[in-house]
Structure 1
Amino acid sequence: MTDQATTQKAKAASLSIRQAIGFETPEGTNWSLVHGQQYAVLKDRVVARVLLHLVSFALVVFTVYQTVPVAALAAWGLGLISAVLYSARADIRLGDADSRSISVTEMESHALTTAAKGAMWSVGLILCAVYGQLGDTLLAWAIAAMLVLASSASRYGAPLSSITFALAAGVGGLIASLIDFHPILATVVVLSTLLAVFGVIESARVSVAVRLAEAAMQEKSEVVSMLLREFEEGQADWLWQVDTGRRLRSVSPRFAFALGREPAEIEGGSFLQLISGDCWQTGRFPQSLHDLADKLKRRQNFSNLEVKVTIGGQQRWWELSGTPIVDDRGRYQGFRGVGSDITEQRESSEKIAYLARYDTLTHLPNRRMLNEALGEALEHAAAWRSRCALLMIDLDRFKGINDSLGHLVGDRMLAEVASRLKALVRDGETCGRLGGDEFAVVLRETSDRSRIDTLAREIIQRLSEPYQIENHTLYVGASVGSAIGPRDGRTVEELLRNADLALYRAKDEGGGAHREFEPALHANAEERRLLENSLRHALARDEFVLHYQPVVDATTEEVVSFEALIRWNSPEHGFVSPAKFIPLAEDTRLIVPIGTWVMERACLEAAENWPEHVRVNVNVSPEQLLETDFVASVVRALSQSGLNAKRLEIEVTESIFLRDASIAREALERCMALGCSIALDDFGTGYSSLGYLRRLKFSTIKVDRSFVQGAAQQSPESLAIIRAVVAMADSLGMTTTAEGVENDEEAQMIRELGCTKIQGYHFGRPMPASDVLDVMARQTGSPRAESA
């Protein structure tokens, strides 16, 4: 009891004033449990409080009726009775506060009604001081002080309301004492009021602490009852007991059921023999049985010991706890304890552990297990001054198969890749799946450096062989990046990052190759990171500008269109080549907002400043075509600029058909329906150009500059390709544009080969928008050209 009282005192002392009087609820409790009860008990003494106030009023009236005017007493009595009845009504309305959630507003409202009673008593005290004698004031204050004491000491009152009543009545007593010029009485009034308020707060603290303690005891009691009930009804645990010879004694029905026997059948039987099954004859016991036998032999307490047992020929897992039995003289009598069957929990735990460390699709170690294996390899290398290695593998062209044939085929292929990888690794080498189409191999020991390159070449060769999946013959390639520890990294994170940098280099060079990590790759990666960070802000900072390269009629050499080409002048990096930032924009999908900006700016420039017969050519990335609102962005650019759709030519490359050809084709067909024309750029450098020409009617085929330069050097292959393209385009009703023409001889050759349009430095380099106006002015002979 002493400890409990001490605990309650500590809890009471730790409560703040706001928590004690009801403005806050102690953490971890609810309002109705702690504060609601403070207001719920008010209704129990409503009648007594009303009678007490009425009797007190009568006593004051009986004392001062000869000195205080009757009208003043009547008015005061009417106000006091109204305040008392209104407060009683408020008490009754809060009778259910312990079973519902009451608000702070309700609490404050009740405090105001109680304060009104105190204020009315203040009026009475002031009346006594004004009209009566000092003795009348003293008697009236004594009666008011009695009411304050009753409100402060009663457990049938709310703390905040008691405080407001005491303060309101105290103000009246103080004013009355000052009117009578009685400083001692004023001091007594102030001290009495403050002591009453302090008593209310301390009493509330104790009351709240008691309620918290009672709630905690009730919760503990409920928890204990629940646990006992579960133990009795759960049929999951049993008691066991053995004597000094480890023979079973006092076998309970539950324990017998766990052994699959009758209690009488196993009473006196060897405990270890009954749970060891066939191991008793072979002598090959699980280690957990050895541990149990050792505990029993040494007479040691044990708890939650997991033991592998054999019951009815089946392997099970038990969790046993036991303690030695000793008699009054301290002599050992055996063991008793409790046990339970945890087979299902153990299997679930093992399954969870497997799922946490192995990939469910390929059954290879996952990223977590690979990280652990790499960490162990680094520790081994550091301890033995040897080397380990990490090979990171990425499949080439896998996404195209996954997108075109579906995830089911893709998963089948990943499983086949895993099978081929497992066949290539040796002892001491761990292969696993990092995620997606990325795999890795950890080599614990790489004293033979040639093993790294040999394994990488074997992986590339084996994974590049054809796959037969659901009547499909499929091909993918593989790229490999490797890093050696601890040379290329002393931690798992460093080695993973550096192997990934090497893999990125292999992919960047076209794939199908193995690249080792080099320190220079860090500089390239850092440069790429900084460039990407600047690129993300370039559009908002208005760092892009469009240049335009003219496309002329092959016969008349008149400008028929301009190709819009984006340029980036970065404050941090200076002029950045499009060959560097365009691939980066495509990898990060920043090409989508950038491409939208190019479309809008080019259309606006052409509509406002160019002649009606001059078109604008805008390059569109495959990433843009896959956006659902691509056509809407084209419509928006045309409508905002006022450009006629026939003056916009969208240029695409054959790579748009490598990801989702149906989406790209649908988007381009809708653009053609608007009136736009479509040009196929870099023709002949892709994959299946003739198939694309059959699927979509292009308006223009652009012959790649490599063929033009080859033809200028009289390459028979290049000349034949250009003639074939021109003939094919003519038969399909398409125009042809030769790119990369740099001098008059090449231009004349292109005319003779039959190309419709020509583009190249010979007719103009990419130029700012202002220079385009000069070119157009010179062509038309306008005053702008003459002034220039």
Structure 2
Amino acid sequence: MKVLYVEDNDQDADLTRRHLGRLAPHIELMNVADVATASERLKADVLPDLLLCDMNLPDGSGLELLRQVRDQALPMPVVMLTGSGDEATVVAALRGGADDYIVKHGNYLDRLPVLLDLAMGRHRLASARHARPIRVLYAERTHTDVDLLMRHLNRYAPNIRLEAVGSADEVLNRLPPNARAATAPDVLLLDYLLPGMNALELVKVVRQDRGLDLPVIIITGQGDEDSAVQTLKLGATDYLVKHEDMLRRLPVAIESAFFRVELERERGALRESQARFRQMAEGIGDVFFLNDPLRRKLLYVSPAFERIWGLPCEVLYDDWVAWMAPIHPHDQVRMQAAVQAINTDERFEAEYRVVRPDGALRHVLMRSYPVFDEAGLPYRRAGIVQDITERKQQEARIEHLAYHDPLTGLPNRTLLMDRLGLALAHAQRHQGQLAVLFMDLDRFKTINDTLGHLQGDELLKQVSQRLRGVLREDDTVARLGGDEFVVVLPQVEGVADPAHVADKLMAALAATFRIGHQDLYVTCSLGVSMYPRDGTDAETLLKYADTALYKAKDAGRNAYRFFSPEMDARAHQRLRLENDLRGAIARDELRLHYQPKLRVDNGQVSGVEALVRWMHPVEGLIAPDQFIPLAEETGLILDIGEWVLGEACRQLRRWRASGHPDLCMAVNLSPRQLQRPGLDVTVLNALEAGGLPPASLELEITESSVMQEPEQALALLRRLRAIGVRISIDDFGTGYTNFAYLRQLPLQRLKIDRSFIQHLADVDEDGVAPGATQDDVAIVEAIIAMAHKLRLNVLAEGVETEAQHERLSGLGCDEMQGFLHGRPMPADECERWMLDRLKQA
């Protein structure tokens, strides 16, 4: 913007030039010191864009230059400079057509760039509006004056369209209720003396009664200036005195009055818009800002800046880029480069972090865009800053949940596989080794089921903390689920390193865990696989570590084992066995063998025990100790146990119907069956399906299975006993014997474990047991005595010799079972054995 600056004070001129150079470099000042030189510049072919003129000059007044601009209709706005207290001069300047003025006082130089930009903007807008005609309603009682004015305007201001009426009543009849209606004139031009009502009264009606904000110009004769001033007080916009200069000044006065009112309307609308904008900007949580990049100055920022940045808004008004100082150091360089690269006409978007003075971290999203002037040039930049901290935290939580265990915070399988893959790639590049440790807690299920899942979860969290405390920063410990954990050790030198870590992990868990109000002791078992010795991919290493884990458990738990090829072969065999076992019932591969039980006093058969066997189509007959533990572990024991119960009842029905009416059947119950709800209903259904009396069925349980969930087991056994079914303790003496609890169980029989029977015959006449322990005799004798005191029947398992038979008989044992009297046999063979026994009797 080229500005002709007329100022005779060299100090003021220099100060203004330097100030504008700093605040508004787009403004170019051309300074002259007097009216004459300025007048010559206004006659040049190339004119300035704006005239900035001091009111008092050495060779005249700035009003002379204003008059020259308006008389010659030069296309430029005029801004007047004046001293304080010179109101009359200001009024004269505005009446003469000045676009604006500024008083030389205080910080007027700070306001000057904005004022010049606004004046230029209004001028451009006014120039554009000159294409639109200005409609003037002229009230004049003298026809000659009307004719003279019309001819003058047609010649010198054709854009002003005049409509004449002769009285105030006609004026009022022509005015619509709304000044902005399409039929409303743009300007009222009123002669002061009108028939029936003078201009003073008419202005009062227009302003006060009608409430119209139309610009009103009063034309009065010489000597009536005081009356015209009164109309100004009532709301008239301007007045002119009838003399020879009036016709020349009238077009300027009309345009000035019209645009002044238009400007005031626009300012009013702008004020309303600004008020609404401030109300909106201050009511939302986002930061809104508006700045002037050319002047490097902030024009507005909403109060939300203080909430997000933790700084007062004033810091931005003092330094428009102060918002960048608190940006997180890791984002600083990126943001500085991005901001410097912004073109003035481009949109900009960026996310970054802000560190508040209190240390709090906020994530923000900034969007800014250019604001264009009437000429389509960017002159402002506006923007919005959103606080996206909560969104970022939510995204981080979602990402964390996607890769971490929600209970312990450890990496989950997904993140484990990613890290293991990276570790393998690193080991391959550097020809190194790594180890994978697969770990789980020993007997965690018992703890979880006994104390409840909440306590079990707390134990898992404490275990995770201890594991983390043992490992290096580069190591990974992940939770796969339940009580299974995996540790990845990159960059190991050999088997000694993972062995040392395994020892440390086991030692870390050896200390007491405080869970609620209880102290718990927990051990763990670990399996270890090595890269590249055992495998070269993640899945293989995990599988082999899991295989080694089972070997550690088989070794008695609280141990670790390294993987070997033999383990893999056994693991594959075990997997094939599990898959085959799943279809064994459907393929009718399970068989029941029956072992007789005899009374000691008369040698009669008191009953039989049903023992399951698996006739594998390839492996042949598989003994129970090879597949029952697998069935227990996989849960298949539930279906197998139900099949055994049903088949045993069906066979018993056949035997009782074919000559053995008093025969009883014993069936073993697994720990899992005891924990399964509805076992009593299953038993009752099996008895009803076989048409059997409940007393013909005996259910054998182990001490350890009862003690896993004692209260639940006791309630179930009582319900079974209420049905009439007999209950016996199998393998008595090998489990967690609790005699106080034993008294509460609804038992009818104790079965002494075969381990106490094996060496009974080795004891000589003097009570010496050279091949066994004398304690066996004492234990068996004590069990029999205790059982009889509790009114329980006693059965000895594993009787294989006559000497054992005689010894047990002498100790008062009630029944016997073992190879001496009969091995487990298929049903038809067992029936023949019982018939032969009857014949012998």
TM-score, normalised relative to structure 1: 0.64
Q: Contact between 1:489 and 1:495, CA under 8 Å: does it hold in 2?
A: yes
Q: 1:411 to 1:261 in 2, by over 3 A?
A: closer
Q: Contact between 2:655 and 2:661, CA under 8 Å: does it hold in 1?
A: no
Match for residue 289 of structure 1?
A: 332
Structure 2 counterpart SS, 1:354: helix
Distance 1:343 1:424 in 2: 34
Distance 2:309 2:456 in 1: 49
1:307 aligns with 2:352: yes
Distance 1:388 1:774 in 2: 63
Whichever residue aligns with residue 757 of structure 1, its letter is: E
Whichever residue aligns with residue 823 of structure 2, its letter is: R
Distance 2:471 2:356 in 1: 40
Whichever residue aligns with residue 739 of structure 1, its letter is: E
Q: 1:264 to 1:456 in 2, by over 3 A?
A: closer
Whichever residue aligns with residue 690 of structure 2, its letter is: S
Report the CA distance between 1:303 and its aligned residue: 5.2
> Which one of the candidate residues 545, 549, 554 is aligned to 2:591?
545
Distance 1:387 1:357 in 2: 25
Q: Contact between 1:604 and 1:643, CA under 8 Å: does it hold in 2?
A: no
Tell me the C-alpha RMSD between the 2 structures: 3.2
> Which one of the candidate residues 454, 462, 471 is aligned to 1:425?
471
Alignment of 1:79-98 (within 5 A): none
Match for residue 385 of structure 1?
A: 431
Match for residue 699 of structure 2?
A: 650
Match for residue 633 of structure 1?
A: 682
Report the CA distance between 1:245 and its aligned residue: 7.9
Distance 1:483 1:245 in 2: 68
Q: Contact between 1:395 and 1:479, CA under 8 Å: does it hold in 2?
A: yes
Q: Contact between 1:550 and 1:562, CA under 8 Å: does it hold in 2?
A: yes
1:722 aligns with 2:780: yes
Whichever residue aligns with residue 431 of structure 2, its letter is: R
Distance 1:663 1:754 in 2: 34
Deviations 1:407-447 (A, max 9, x none): 33223322222232222222322223332222232212211
Q: 1:708 to 1:689 in 2, by over 3 A?
A: farther
Report the CA distance between 1:453 and its aligned residue: 1.1
Match for residue 584 of structure 1?
A: 630
1:693 aligns with 2:742: yes
Report the CA distance between 1:721 and its aligned residue: 1.2
Report the CA distance between 1:488 and its aligned residue: 2.6
Structure 1 counterpart SS, 2:816: strand
Match for residue 746 of structure 1?
A: 804
Report the CA distance between 1:275 and its aligned residue: 3.5
Q: Contact between 2:347 and 2:370, CA under 8 Å: does it hold in 1?
A: no
Whichever residue aligns with residue 418 of structure 1, its letter is: S
Structure 1 counterpart SS, 2:837: helix
Match for residue 708 of structure 1?
A: 757
Distance 2:356 2:521 in 1: 52
Q: Contact between 1:304 and 1:320, CA under 8 Å: does it hold in 2?
A: yes
Report the CA distance between 1:609 and its aligned residue: 1.6
Structure 1 gaps of 5+ residues are: 1-230, 280-284
Alignment of 1:438-587 (within 5 A): 438-587=484-633
Distance 1:477 1:263 in 2: 61
Distance 2:719 2:420 in 1: 52
Q: 1:546 to 1:246 in 2, by over 3 A?
A: farther
Distance 2:430 2:831 in 1: 73
Q: 1:534 to 1:263 in 2, by over 3 A?
A: closer
Query: Which structure has more strand as a fraction of its residues?
Result: 2
Distance 1:667 1:362 in 2: 36
Q: 1:426 to 1:724 in 2, by over 3 A?
A: same
Q: 1:596 to 1:262 in 2, by over 3 A?
A: closer
Distance 1:625 1:595 in 2: 11
Alignment of 1:182-331 (within 5 A): 235=284, 240=289, 247-253=296-302, 266-267=316-317, 269-271=319-321, 273-277=322-326, 286-299=329-342, 304-311=349-356, 313=358, 314-321=360-367
Q: Contact between 2:371 and 2:380, CA under 8 Å: does it hold in 1?
A: yes
Q: Contact between 2:435 and 2:490, CA under 8 Å: does it hold in 1?
A: yes
Higher relative contact order (CA closer than 8 Å, sequence separation 6+): 1
Deviations 1:190-220 (A, max 9, x none): xxxxxxxxxxxxxxxxxxxxxxxxxxxxxxx
Deviations 1:75-112 (A, max 9, x none): xxxxxxxxxxxxxxxxxxxxxxxxxxxxxxxxxxxxxx
Report the CA distance between 1:589 and its aligned residue: 1.9
TM-score, normalised relative to structure 2: 0.60
Structure 2 counterpart SS, 1:350: helix
Structure 2 counterpart SS, 1:373: helix
Report the CA distance between 1:243 and its aligned residue: 5.9
Q: Contact between 2:282 and 2:304, CA under 8 Å: does it hold in 1?
A: no
Whichever residue aligns with residue 571 of structure 2, its letter is: A
Distance 1:383 1:730 in 2: 73
Distance 1:238 1:637 in 2: 76
> Which one of the candidate residues 635, 645, 651 is aligned to 1:605?
651
Match for residue 711 of structure 2?
A: 662
Q: Contact between 1:296 and 1:335, CA under 8 Å: does it hold in 2?
A: no
Q: 1:542 to 1:487 in 2, by over 3 A?
A: same
Alignment of 1:401-412 (within 5 A): 401-412=447-458
Q: Contact between 2:479 and 2:485, CA under 8 Å: does it hold in 1?
A: yes
Deviations 1:135-179 (A, max 9, x none): xxxxxxxxxxxxxxxxxxxxxxxxxxxxxxxxxxxxxxxxxxxxx
Q: 1:700 to 1:338 in 2, by over 3 A?
A: same
Structure 2 counterpart SS, 1:762: coil
Query: Which structure has more helix as a fraction of its residues?
Result: 1
Structure 2 counterpart SS, 1:524: helix
Report the CA distance between 1:606 and its aligned residue: 1.8
Distance 2:478 2:294 in 1: 51
Structure 2 counterpart SS, 1:355: helix
Report the CA distance between 1:263 and its aligned residue: 6.8
Deviations 1:684-716 (A, max 9, x none): 111234344223132111111111113334321
Report the CA distance between 1:548 and its aligned residue: 0.7
Report the CA distance between 1:729 and its aligned residue: 1.0
Deviations 1:270-314 (A, max 9, x none): 31x33423x8xxxxx512121010122344778542111245644
Q: 1:377 to 1:725 in 2, by over 3 A?
A: same
Report the CA distance between 1:358 and its aligned residue: 3.6
> Which one of the candidate residues 717, 728, 744 is aligned to 1:679?
728
Q: 1:705 to 1:305 in 2, by over 3 A?
A: same
Structure 2 counterpart SS, 1:539: coil
Q: Contact between 2:292 and 2:299, CA under 8 Å: does it hold in 1?
A: no
Q: Contact between 2:287 and 2:384, CA under 8 Å: does it hold in 1?
A: yes
Greater alpha carbon shift after TM alignment, 644-653 vs 363-372 = 363-372
Distance 2:617 2:337 in 1: 76
Q: 1:342 to 1:562 in 2, by over 3 A?
A: same
Report the CA distance between 1:475 and its aligned residue: 1.8
Q: Contact between 1:237 and 1:338, CA under 8 Å: does it hold in 2?
A: yes
Match for residue 760 of structure 1?
A: 818
Distance 1:449 1:546 in 2: 47
Structure 2 counterpart SS, 1:741: coil
Match for residue 482 of structure 2?
A: 436
Distance 1:436 1:302 in 2: 52
Structure 1 counterpart SS, 2:689: helix
Q: Contact between 2:649 and 2:690, CA under 8 Å: does it hold in 1?
A: yes
Q: 1:506 to 1:730 in 2, by over 3 A?
A: same
